[in-house]
Amino acid sequence: MSDRASAVGVLFDLDGTLVDSLPTIAEAMSRTLGDFGHEVAPDTILPLIGAPMQTLAQQLTEVSDEVAAEMYERYLRLYYDEFIQTTQPLAGASELLDRLGAAGARLGVVTNKNEHGGKLMVEILGWERHFDVVVGRDTTPHPKPAPDGPLHALAALGIAPEDAAFVGDTEFDMAAAQSASVDIRIGLLGARSATQLEASGATHIVETLDEVDAIILESRAAGRAAVGG
């Protein structure tokens, strides 16, 4: 078996998982909705982040598909002009990526940002060397919670779902990973409760990113031991 075939793949969500972007996303979305005459506080938006922004806009305002698309375009301009450059990594994120890379894991991003936004975020944080693939909501026909994104990323990495893990903080992440038959699905507490994450497919729950690599590498080692008899 080649080293590529035996490697573990780890897919990450970005917002709320690796980067502390949820407050700025909520603020940008609140301002966008206000521009269209809908006053929605950032605190109302914050617990709903995870779905594609057009879906979120319709959930909050019940506008038409056409108006939701206009809102999304306005949001993108505002977010990229004023907010994304200030986004900081979550505690332990860079260190986790370093440890996984040193262990030989192949890493990818699957985000509900568009692909440009996902790649821009990775670039802003200096993480290009860690990620071989960045999949956005527009990379495949259907964004999370559909399995398209994880399957696309794993194909690009040359990793089978049974040799992969997905780390995310919402039900959209867990459901997408479960639908793609990703073996290890790690839910990070914060945006959602443990109950919500487990109900949508999480196999493990963590409070911090410091716990993630041990779960992945120990599960991988246990699996190899079982195969070896």
The catalytic residue positions are 13
Cβ density class 151-180: b for 16+ within 10 Å, e for less: bbbbebbebebebbbbbbbbbbbbbbbbbb
- Rounded CA gap, 64 and 49, in Å? 20
Tokens 């006053």 correspond to: 39
Crossing angle of helices 171-179 and 148-157, rounded to 10°: 60
Residue 220 is encoded by which pair of tokens? 């991988």
